[in-house]
Amino acid sequence: MILVHDLDHVRQGRALKSELYGVGAIALVTAIISLVLAAREHWLAPAAVVVVGFGNVVGVALVHVVPHWGPLSDPYAASHVDWFSWAVIVTMMLVGLMLGIAGIRAFRESSHKKAHSIYEPLSL
């Protein structure tokens, strides 16, 4: 969804502040890192997915939904973007929410397995 959102910015044809390009790059890189961690079933994957998922929800809301508040702000209401751009960020926020919840579940499952493995007898 981050790539779809980035392409939507190109489609809009609006000039963005350089700070926002940096924020977008950080979002994309952290999403790729969490994807690689999840694909490798790394023990940090659940935490990474929680941070990236919920981070995208908060980040998109702060940048595009709330009124102008500073240099990292690009409120869609003030820019009068079309329905497609709104649909993209709403979908992006929903996907981020689902990822964050999935990361919490995975974290709980992995910690639950570790707790039970402590009490299992050793087989020699």
- pTM confidence score: 0.80
Does the residue 122 lie in any domain? no
For 14, phi then psi, to 5°, come to: -95, 145
Closest C-alpha to 3, from 82, 81, 91, 107: 91
Q: How far apart are CA 53 and CA 57, in angstroms?
A: 7
Q: How far apart are CA 4 and CA 105, in angstroms?
A: 27
Tell me the two tokens of residue 122.
């050793």
Does the residue 124 lie in any domain? no
**pLDDT (tens digit per residue) in 36-77:** 999 999 999 999 999 999 999 999 999 999 999 998 998 999
Quote the domain boundaries for residue 72.
2-117
What total number of domains does the chain contain? Answer: 1
Dmax of the chain from CA atoms? 68
